[in-house]
């Protein structure tokens, strides 16, 4: 799949702000600062499409990007950001959960986990939640450039083990710095959304 067109079509905090549920969607979920917005920019080849920040808590709304007029990538607010108050954090959780629960067109949830760390309790919780609701999930390990090549396999193993992934499940390492993992991820997105041939 080649992304020729990408545009922000909606920014929402509640269901009444979502675009009509008429296209397949791929949601990017994961803790704050893990690299969701950066990955969206890399995939679309548009550096400034989604705002990126070194300080966590950049994306605070659900942002819908229409891709090739055929599907949408949905950039979700991150969780696990210590500096926001508990009530705000719960609000984010509710926002994300309401979206994930209520979307018929949701074809794939990409869970991003930092390749350097064991997935957090919240990552595990979200992943189990996705499994419970039988949502199609894919794990991506971000910031692969931050560790040596020889350490990659062990870290992927740690992520697999912590999330309880099956042998068949794929974990894709990506780096927005080195621009790696893009083809693999686009392939998965195309196949999940039924646009493999385009």
- Using CB under 6 A, list all residues that contact ligand GTP: 32-38, 52-54, 56-59, 77-78, 142-143, 145-146, 175-177
57 binds, among ligand GTP, Mg ion, none (CB under 5 to 8 A by kind): ligand GTP
Q: Is 41 in the site for Mg ion (CB under 5 A)?
A: no
Q: How far is the CB of 168 from Mg ion (least distance, A)?
A: 30
Of the pair 46, 165, the CB lying nearest Mg ion is at 46
Q: Which helix (H) or strand (E) holds 190?
A: helix 182-193
Helix (H) or strand (E) run with residue 129 in it: helix 121-132
Beta strands in 99-183 (DSSP E): 106-114, 137-142, 171-173
- Rounded-to-integer distance, Cα 96 and Cα 153, Å: 30
Site residues for Mg ion, 50-69, by CB under 5 A, read 58-59
Shortest distance in whole angstroms from residue 197 CB to Mg ion = 31
Largest CA distance in the chain: 47
DSSP for residue 60: -
Q: Which of residues 130-189 bind Mg ion (CB under 5 A)?
A: none
Phi-psi region of 181 (alpha: psi -120 to 50; beta: other; left: phi over 0): left
By C-alpha distance, which of 36, 31, 33 is closest to 49? 36
Q: Which is nearer to ligand GTP, 61 or 195 (CB)?
A: 61
Which CB atom, from 72 or from 160, has the smaller least distance to Mg ion?
A: 72
3-state class of 75 per DSSP?
Answer: strand
| CB closer to Mg ion out of 31 and 58 | 58
CB of 59 to Mg ion, least distance (A): 3
| Binding stretches for Mg ion (CB under 5 A) | 36-37, 58-59
């Amino acid at each position: 799949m080649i992304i020729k067109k990408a545009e922000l079509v909606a920014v929402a905090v509640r269901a009444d702000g979502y675009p009509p549920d008429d296209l397949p969607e791929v949601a990017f979920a994961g803790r704050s600062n893990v690299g969701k917005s950066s990955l969206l920019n890399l995939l679309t080849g548009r550096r400034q499409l989604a705002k990126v920040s070194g300080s966590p808590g950049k994306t605070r709304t659900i942002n819908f990007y229409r891709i090739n007029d055929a599907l949408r990538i949905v950039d979700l607010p991150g969780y696990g950001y210590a500096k926001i108050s508990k009530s705000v954090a719960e609000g984010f959780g509710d926002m994300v959960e309401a979206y994930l629960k209520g979307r018929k067109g949701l074809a794939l949830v990409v869970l991003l986990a930092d390749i350097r760390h064991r997935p957090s309790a919240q990552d595990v919780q979200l992943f189990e939640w996705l499994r419970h609701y039988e949502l199609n999930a894919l794990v991506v390990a971000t910031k692969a450039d931050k560790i040596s090549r020889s350490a990659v396999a062990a870290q992927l193993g740690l992520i697999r083990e912590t999330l309880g992934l099956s042998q068949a499940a794929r974990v894709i390492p990506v780096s927005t710095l080195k621009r790696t993992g893009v083809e693999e991820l686009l392939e998965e997105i195309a196949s999940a959304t039924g646009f493999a041939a385009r």
